[in-house]
Structure formats: structure tokens, C-alpha cells
Chains A and B, each alone.
Chain A
Amino acid sequence: METKRIVLYLNQFFGQIGGEDKADTPPHSVEKAVGPGMGLSALLPKNCTIVGTIICGDGYFNENLEEASAAVRQMLEEFAPDVVIAGPAFNAGRYGMACGMVGKIAHEMGIPAVSGMYPENPGVETYRQYLYIIETGNSAASMRTALPAMAKLAGKLANNEPVGSAAEEGYLSRGIRRNVFVEKRGSERAIEMLLKKLKGEPFETEYPIPHFDRVEPAEAITDLSKAVIALVTSGGIVPKGNPDRIEASSASRYGKYSIEGIDSLTSDSFETAHGGYDPVYANDVPDRVVPVDALRHLEKQGRIGKLFPYFYSTVGNGTSVANAKKYAAEIAQELVNEGVHAVILTST
């Protein structure tokens, strides 16, 4: 089996330099395993060797992030490891942040990284998408259980073996959902889960419901007659021919279309790109989804100040929340910059 190179990152304490008085130590490296590296060496697969340890004070790393990161990057380039192991940092906040950043640097260099942290360590929330963080207890007392899991996962990464789910490997979720085939069909899994729930036995949901955003409504507009109003839709109304090629489902983009001098969206020049509903009624009268006619009417009556001369459109059908958030942030910023006071959002 090909020999694989592992590099370890430790803070001043686990790097055996000293306590808080040595927290301002800049990064340096030694060409051997130190501290927890001794235990890890024994647990790693036989073809994996810890070729070096990078040690840095927690205070220095967090207060000199740029310099520390540059130095760590250079050391990693020199060691050219197959896998980086950082920590474990348990519930030490500054150490966790440093381990996470080391994982991010490795990630950017295309090197997989493993750490170990207590779930509440701030390093988890900030960096978990860049490295695998094995769940540990909140103190070094859990070193004994942390190291075998870290070594096992690092060994798999070094040898390009498939990595199991968060629950299977013991790492904290990186927030990525991946499809897998399981032994039993869904109906059977549901019945078994229900029977456990009814008996008060522990059960594991297949999808933990995340915390949902609640957006506080903005202050009401006191004088609509002076307000600039914009129309934004997830109903997929686009100029005929769909010039931006917005997808019928899982839209990867949104469009911005002029309605300057247009009193009504008609079937001659507009249509819907949305694939989630029967388009007949929207195509007949696109105003049904983006009510330009009604807004122009209110504009003429002086009940609103002005209709913003563009509308924005995307397709809501199957479009991920992450993409929708991104489009919304961009659209909202443009509308704010253009002095728009209010938006009518239409969905389908």
C-alpha cells in the first residue's frame, strides 16, 4: 500500500510548549508527531505516517489571522500531506476557530482535513463545510474516544475510501444531504419509527427540521401616493422566448425586464417559463401573475407614486431555498439602491 502523509495541527498547550503564557507563539513546525499525535499514530492505518506537526498559539492565530494562515499554508505546501488532522479542540473556542481555519486552508489546497470539537465550539458553525469535525465531549477527558474516530476517518480520506454519513462516522453534520439506498422501503421505515415513537423509545428522524427564518414585516408605508412600487415574481413571467433561459424548475437564475411605457403585459410579448402549473391562464394574460395593468391604473389615479420601470422574475418551482435567498438578496439590494419603497411579491 502506498505510504500516505499526515500533518497534524496543534495549539501551544497540546503542542507541549506551554499554557496561556505561550498563547502568543507564532506558527512553527516539527517533523514528527507531538502530543495527541502519538496516540493518533498508533490508531492510523499502517500506511499513514504523521510526517510533521504545525504548532501555533491560540492567541497568535486568532489575533494575526492573515499572517498565521499564510504561514500555515506555506508549511502545508512544504509537507504536501494527503490529509490534515487539526486538534481535537473540544470546547476551546480559539483553538476550535484555529483548527477550522486550518481545515479551510487545506480545503482550498485540495487536501481533506479532520478535526474534533464539541458541538457548541464556534469553530463548528464557522468552518464545518470545509472539514470533517468529529463530535467530542467538551473537555480533553474525551480524548480517548475522539482519537479513534478521527484516525479512522483520516485513514479513509488518505486512502480515498468512501466516507459514510455524519451519523455513521461520528462527525458533526456539514449540512450536506446525500442520497443513499437503505435496506427497507420508506413505508416500513415510517411504521417502525411510529411504533418507537408510540412506545416512547428513542428514534432517529431521517430529516431534522431546521430552524426556520421568520422575517419581521417592514413598517407600513404611510403615504402610498409618493411611494415607488416594484413587482417581483416567482411565477416565471418572462419576455416571449424566455431570453434568459430561466429553467422551468430549479431555476439557476432570475431575469430583470423593462416595463417602461408598457401598460399591460399581454400574450403578444410575455409568457411564463414556470413548469409547475398549467400555463394557459398565465400565458393568456400575463398580468394575472405580474399585475402591471392594475399598478398602472393605481399610478394614473395617483394612489401610488410610481411603478418601478422593471420587474424581476424567477421560477419558484423546485428552486432551492439557498438559491432563492441569493436572488432575493441581489434583487433587494438593487431595489434599495434605486430608491424603491415597497415590493409586491407574487407567487403561483
Chain B
Amino acid sequence: MQLTVGNIFINDLQFGPVTEVKGKTLYVNKEELTELLLQDEHLLSVNIDIAHPGDSIRIMPVKDVIEPRVKPELDGGIFPGMVSKMFPAGVGLTHVLKGVSVVTTGKIVGYQEGIIDMQGPGAELTPFSKLHNLVIVANPVSGITPHQHEAALRKMGLKAANYLGQAARGVAPDESVTYELLPVHEYHKQYPDLPKVAYVYMLQSQGLLHDTYYYGVDVKNMVPTLMHPTEVMDGAIVSGNCVSACDKNTTYHHLNNPVIHDLLQRHGKDLCFVGCVITNENVTLLDKQRSSDLTAKLVEYLGVDGVIISEEGFGNPDTDLIMNCTKIEQKGIKTVLITDEFAGQDGTSQSLADGSPSATAIVSGGNANALITLPPMERVIGNIDPVEVIAGGFKGNRGADGSITVELQAIIGATNELGFNKLTAREY
């Protein structure tokens, strides 16, 4: 089996009469997309806007970011089992519109949606400032519950991305990469002298607006399972959560998981990448024990020498991270953990809620409590009002000039725990 990913590089996004790729520009028929999205009875109205890198624009509160993709050999869109019919993700051909994304915003769902600044110091902290963003501001009908609101926004973003993805169907990619997928024992034979490595991919599943979906299945209700690394590239994993913006994995992050990408890049060079174990971060002790036991078992079953474990969120999931680490190390398999830190605004507090002597190798995405002042922008897309109450905001954080002071926590993807960024924290 194999997956070929064809990247189509887009360097401009404009509205136009037809949704299509012409040259390096993606044109979007605003009316057609609006009509499609308003088919959801939970949405009262949508406004579609465009934000380019370097624009003096602040987008908030951001719910999700999604990259448009399509399977040219299949009808319909990606995200199987979620907003498209079921198909096995991660094989065949996938076209990607690189350089653009769908950003969903509007009335705040919870407290934990974040900020994207398209220029200035905030832009340096989020990868999405570098994209041409199609921003969809959605207003739900009244009387809707937060979880209905979340579901409506989630599906709206995925549908919009699939709509844009259709424009990539007949376009010849600028570059193509093919990933070969083998049975586990074949990997072991392929590179007998290289260290065997797996990836333990922890998915946010604390519930109450903290959910992730695998082929449409709420991962709270899943036991850890094996996954081909390429499945994420077709949207097998979808974000459905409002965890603090800095370290939630948006759907864009899942589609472009950097651990998977970098392990595949080095496969056959200095390591042999055998596969992924996906697991959850449930809230009860029994669930945590079950998931960490089964994760350690699957890692051992893959016969690997080492694993990278990535976390999503912080606090409660720190216990899942440490349980996974401890149980895998107990089997004689080496671990490296990717997390971020909540060390207080002054950086002097303990960074994680849990720890173990087994956790000797940790990569940090930075201290999410650190403060930053974001200068005023000419335009806000979405709604600035929740800026005091979003996670990372506080009362009185709005300057008279339109500047805002927030913890990095409030910036989408700032301390990402998949290792998407170059930010880290050091001892001073």
C-alpha cells in the first residue's frame, strides 16, 4: 500500500465567480460556499472574509483551522466517517492546497478559543499567520447548547475545507511525495540495523467540549489502537475541542502532524518508523489506567526500541502522559515526551502537574503562562469582546489603543505539543 501526497502551492486567495485554482491563486465563490454552509439548521448566518500574511488583522475567537485537501480518485471530500462517507484514509492519492486554510470563528463556544494575529509579535507565535486564511464567522441560532454549537462549527469548518479541496481535484501538483506502507514485520526486515521507532499520539478526550474524533468516532469511547502514519493526511483525526488555544491540536495540526512527517522523512536514514499508536486522555482513573496499559502493550507488540509520545492539553492530561511514559519505560522501551509548560507568568512555578523519574527526556513547547502584549490591529475578524474571559486573558487586559495583553495560552498553536514550532523554554 502507498499514499502519494501531491502539494499544490497557493500564494494568493481571492473571491471570484467560480471556486477554482488559477495560476497560484485560489478563487472562492463566496455565495455558493455561504449557501452550502447555511444548510446547517444550527447556523443563523455566516460571513466569509480573507486574511493574508502581514495584514493588520486579528482573528478571534478561533475555533479550528483546516487545510483543504481532496482525494482525486474518490468522490466527495476527506474526513471519512465525519463529514464524508467512510473510506480507508492514508492510501491512494491526496491533493493538498498548501498555503491556505479555513479558519472558523464567530460567537465564542467555550472560553478556550484563541487568537491569530496576521502581523506583529503575535504572528510569530502562531503558524497560521503565514497562511492565506479563509475566515468564516458563524453565528448560531439562539437557544443552542454549547456542545451543539461546537458540533455545528466543527462540521462547518470541515465542509468548507472540503468545498475548497474540490478545486484541487484536477490540478497538477507542484511536488509529490510517496509513502510506502508495510506490514509490521516487513518494516523490521526492511532496515534490520536501524533503531525501530513508534509514535504514541495522545488525543484530547476529556469531554465537555474537549473531544477528538477518529473516523467520526469520539475517541473517549475508543481503546488505544494502531494507525498507519499516513491516515492523518486524509483527515482520519479531527479536532472537536475548545481546549486552551496554545496547545490544542487543530485539524490543520493533525493533517500535518510534524512528528509523523519528520519520522517518515528519516525512515530508512537513521531510524525505522514502524507505526503509530493513538490513545486518549480520559478523565477517570480507570480510563487512564486502561488506556496507558493498552498503549504500552501495543508499543511492545510493535517490537520497537523507542517511542515519541505527544500530549494534547495540560494539567489533567499530564497524568496520562506520565502514565504512558512510565509503563512504556518499564518494558525497557525508551521514551521522549513532547509537552508544554504552565510555569506561571513569572516562570517560577512547577511546569507540569505530574512527573516521574522515568521522564528523563522531554521536549518543551514553551511556557504558556508567559505574557505578551499584542499591538492594535486595524481590523478584527470575529469578535474581540471575549478577550478578557478566554483562557489566557484576564480582566483589564485591553489597552485604550486596542492593544491586548494575554498569556501565550490564548494564541492558537503557540506552545503546540506535536512539536510544530521552534519555541521552547529554558532554565534561567
Chain A residues with CB under 8 Å of chain B are 129, 163, 165-167, 173-191, 193-195, 197-199, 203, 205-210, 212, 245, 247-250, 252, 275-281, 316-318, 320-323
Contacts and interface: CB of A to CB of B under 8 A. Distances in A.
Contact of B349 (A165, A185, A197, A321): A321
Interface string B314-340: 110000000000000000001110110
B346 interface: yes
Contacts of B363: 186, 189-190, 193, 206
B398 to A, nearest CB: 15
A178 B364 CA distance: 11
B208 A278 contact: yes
A316 B315 contact: yes
Contact of B346 (A163, A176, A179, A186): A176
Given A187-B262, A275-B391, 19 more contacts: A166-B426, A176-B346, A177-B343, A179-B367, A179-B424, A188-B419, A189-B419, A191-B197, A191-B262, A206-B362, A209-B360, A247-B395, A275-B390, A276-B111, A281-B208, A317-B244, A318-B409, A320-B343, A322-B349
A195 B271 contact: yes
Interface stretch (B42-50, B212-220, B350-358, B375-383): B350-358
B428 A166 contact: yes
A205 B361 contact: yes
B234 interface: no
Contact of A322 (B110, B244, B350, B417): B350
Contacts of A189: 363, 419, 424
A166 B409 contact: no
Nearest to B246: A318
B359 interface: yes
A270 B345 CA distance: 29
B16 interface: no
A165 B426 contact: yes
A166 to B, nearest CB: 4
Given A187-B261, A198-B334, A248-B389, A323 B344 contact: yes
B420 A187 contact: yes
B384 interface: no
Contact of B352 (A190, A207, A279): A207
Given A185-B420, A320-B349, A321-B350, A173 B355 contact: no
B339 A318 contact: no
Nearest to B210: A277
A316 to B, nearest CB: 7
Given A191-B266, A198-B334, A318-B409, A207 B362 contact: yes
A194 B422 contact: no
Contacts of B106: none
Given A187-B261, A198-B306, A275-B111, A176 B348 contact: yes
6 contacts: A177-B351, A177-B427, A178-B428, A195-B270, A276-B244, A318-B314
B146 A278 contact: yes
A250 B338 contact: no
A207 B341 contact: yes
Contacts of B51: none
B258 interface: yes
Contact of B344 (A183, A281, A316, A320): A320
B422 A184 contact: yes
Contact of B394 (A195, A197, A247, A321): A247
A176 to B, nearest CB: 4
Contact of B427 (A166, A199, A250): A166
A187 B419 contact: yes
Interface string B142-183: 000111000000000000000000000000000000000000
B88 to A, nearest CB: 25
B425 interface: yes
A318 B368 contact: yes
Given A191-B262, A205-B362, A280-B145, A197 B369 contact: no
Given A176-B346, A193-B361, A278-B110, A186 B424 contact: yes
Q: Which of B314, B342, B365 gathers most chain A CB within 10 Å?
A: B342
B426 to A, nearest CB: 4
B347 interface: yes
B93 interface: no
A283 B97 CA distance: 43
B427 A165 contact: yes
B259 interface: yes
B426 A180 contact: yes
Contacts of A174: 427-428
A278 B150 CA distance: 10
A275 to B, nearest CB: 3
Contacts of B349: 320-323
Given A187-B338, A209-B355, A177 B426 contact: yes
Contacts of A250: 345, 369, 391-392, 394, 407, 409
Given A206-B364, A320-B343, A188 B209 contact: no
B423 interface: yes
Contacts of A249: 111-112, 244, 391-392, 407, 409
Contacts of B338: 186-187, 190
Contacts of B124: 181
A252 B407 CA distance: 13
A174 B346 CA distance: 12
A265 to B, nearest CB: 19
A197 B308 CA distance: 11
A272 to B, nearest CB: 11
A318 B258 contact: no
A194 B353 contact: no
Contacts of B393: 247-248
Contacts of B14: none
A278 B111 CA distance: 9
A182 B421 CA distance: 9
